[in-house]
Amino acid sequence: MSMTNSQARPGEAELIKSVCNGEREAFYELVRPYERMIYATAISVVKNPADAEEVAQEAVLKAFSNLASFHSESKFSTWLVQITYNEARMKLRKARPHLYDSIDEQQQGEEEEYRPKDYADWRPISSELLEQNEVRQALQNAISALSPPYREVLVLRDLQQLSIKETMSILGVSKATVKTRLHRARLVLRDCLAPGIDGSWIKGTPFRKVRAW
Amino acid sequence: MATIEISCVEVWREISNYLDEEISPETRERMEAHFKVCAHCTAVLDGTRNIVELVGDGRVFQMPDGLSKRLHKKIQNLP
């Protein structure tokens, strides 16, 4: 029926049936293509690899025990991201309740205009450079440095490639909020990564800025 | 050309929506006319698009070694 269902991986529905009939190995087959997605969701919330692994494990177990409640009209991958996301948030809340208190509230300054820095031009960072540890690390650091509301939207939309609608439903925020936060997150990342575009991540020289807006 | 001009500030505000095709055809047309004459806004657009591509590449967060195996084991050991 639904559009999203047609995007399910081939054989997914059969695997789900097998798991529900008690075939445990089928569950591993079902989850395996999404391991990286689960881990990336987890680490984008909890930030450190050890916690992210724990969250990934908890999320997989939870998905297994709740599989009977999965409805085939939604996408299995989105359902998994939702579970992982909830587990990750719960972990963060337990670990640092004070820090996490304000996350659901409107962020201060969210309505303010973000002014992108003015660089004369943009020399593209080729995705092949992601093979280099420095470049990957720079991008990871920039994503981690975003405050949680921005990071979460960016990870769901740009990293997990979820639709605006799916992102709205996972985060429980409006379309306008998804768009505003995504917008800012992308511009901030651009500003963070600009110093690297002439290779200065390695050389340590600042990128030449042409003028202040 | 009957395109109404758009300011840099207005362009930045819509950069992300532009990339996601979440703008009206009229706004798109105005922005495209602006990009043709404004190198700075073009640099903002190019950079933002580049970021979106990099983040979506999937190689940003590498899984720790052995995580896949550990998950498999966890599933096998389910009660």
C-beta atoms of B75 and A213 within 8 A: no
What span, in angstroms and rounded, lies between the C-alpha atoms of B56 and B59? 8
- Based on the number of CB atoms within 10 Å of its own CB, is A30 exposed (0-12), middle (13-18) or buried (19 or more)? buried
Summary mean pLDDT of chain A: 81
C-beta atoms of A116 and B64 within 8 A: no
Domain with B64, as residue range(s), is 8-76
Q: What is the ipTM of this complex?
A: 0.89
C-beta atoms of A187 and B60 within 8 A: no
3-state helix, strand, coil split of chain A in percent (to 5) is 70, 0, 30
A108-134 residue pLDDT tens: 455 567 888 877 677 778 888 888 888
pLDDT, residue B22, reads: 96
In a domain, B46, yes or no: yes
pLDDT, residue B25, reads: 96
pLDDT, residue A105, reads: 44
Domain count, chain B: 1
Residue type, B2: A
pLDDT, residue A110, reads: 58
Query: How far is B49 from chain A, CA to nearest CA, in Å?
Result: 9
Query: How far is B29 from chain A, CA to nearest CA, in Å?
Result: 20
Return the number of other C-beta atoms located less than 10 Å from residue A101's C-beta. 10
In a domain, B62, yes or no: yes
Q: Using a CB-CB distance cutoff of 8 angstroms, which residues of chain A are in contact with residue B42? A: 121
The residue-averaged pLDDT of A64-77 equals 86
Positive/negative CA dihedral, A155, A160, A164, A168: negative
Binning pLDDT at 50, 70 and 90, where does residue A164 land? very high
Summary mean pLDDT of chain B: 90
Count CB pairs under 8 A between chains A and B: 140
More confident position, A14 or A102: A14
Report residue B47 as tokens: 């950079």
Q: Which CATH number fits domain A10-100: 3.90.550.10, 3.90.1150.170, 1.10.1740.10, 3.30.70.100?
A: 1.10.1740.10
More confident position, A66 or A106: A66
In a domain, B21, yes or no: yes
DSSP string, A75-117: -HHHHHHHHHHHHHHHHHHHH-HHHHTTTTSPPTTTTSPP---
Question: May I ask the CATH class of domain A127-203?
Answer: mainly alpha
pLDDT, residue B26, reads: 94
Report residue B55 as tokens: 């983040």
Say yes or no to pLDDT of A210 above 50: no
In a domain, B39, yes or no: yes
Q: Who contacts A154 (Cβ-Cβ below 8 Å, separation ≥6)?
A: A143, A146, A181, A182, A185, A186, A189, B55
What span, in angstroms and rounded, lies between the C-alpha atoms of A64 and B12? 44
Q: Using a CB-CB distance cutoff of 8 angstroms, which residues of chain B are in contact with residue A40? A: 60-61
Query: How far is A198 from chain B, CA to nearest CA, in Å?
Result: 13
Binning pLDDT at 50, 70 and 90, where does residue B58 land? confident
More confident position, A132 or A98: A132
pLDDT, residue A48, reads: 86
Residues of CATH 1.10.1740.10 domain(s) within chain A? 10-100
pLDDT, residue A1, reads: 34
More confident position, B39 or A108: B39
- Which of A87, A79, A27, A82 has its CA nearest to residue A52? A87
3-class secondary structure per residue, A29-46:
HHHHHHHHHHHHHHHHHH
Per-residue burial over A170-203, b = 16 or more CB atoms within 10 Å of its CB, e = otherwise: bbebeeebbbbbbbbbbbbbbbbbbbbbeeebee
Three-state DSSP at B51 gives: helix
pLDDT, residue B79, reads: 72
Within the 9-48 window of chain B, which residues sit less than 8 Å (CB to CB) from chain A? 9, 12-13, 15-17, 19-20, 22, 39-40, 42-44, 46-48
pLDDT, residue A211, reads: 43
Phi-psi region at A172: left, alpha or beta (left = phi > 0; alpha = psi -120 to 50):
left
Report residue A75 as tokens: 């996408």
Report residue A203 as tokens: 């050389």
Say yes or no to pLDDT of A193 above 50: yes
Residues of CATH 1.10.10.10 domain(s) within chain A? 127-203
